[in-house]
């Protein structure tokens, strides 16, 4: 059996231990569950949220702008498009 040693903020460890204890687990068991789910799902067992820059709508807008630019056109945006990109 392997040992995993990690460094983390004392406050985070305390809070995580409290959450695990509230579920009837010790922190080691909670970490084992996390790692087991990670292997089972072949990825993180939760969906991380990223900056809105990577949202599908923004990526589509960037692809349209790139296509306009590659066609030699001027990249244009309506006020609605610019406002929606700021959200």
Residue-wise pLDDT tens digits, 32-84:
999 999 999 999 998 877 677 878 888 888 898 888 888 887 777 788 877 87
Dihedral sign computed on CA atoms, order 19, 23, 28, 31: negative
Which CA distances in Å does 80 have to 4, 7, 61, 83, 84?
Answer: 50, 46, 12, 5, 6
Confidence (pLDDT) at 87: 65
What is the CB-side half-sphere exposure of residue 20 using CA atoms within 13 A?
Answer: 16
């Amino acid at each position: 059996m392997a040992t995993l040693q990690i460094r983390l903020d004392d406050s985070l460890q305390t809070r995580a231990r409290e959450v695990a204890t509230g579920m009837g687990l010790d922190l080691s068991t909670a970490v084992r569950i996390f790692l087991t789910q990670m292997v089972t799902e072949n990825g993180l067992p939760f969906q991380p949220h990223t900056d809105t820059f990577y949202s599908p709508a923004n990526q589509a807008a960037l692809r349209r702008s790139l296509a306009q630019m590659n066609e030699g056109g001027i990249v244009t945006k309506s006020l609605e498009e610019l406002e929606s990109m700021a959200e």
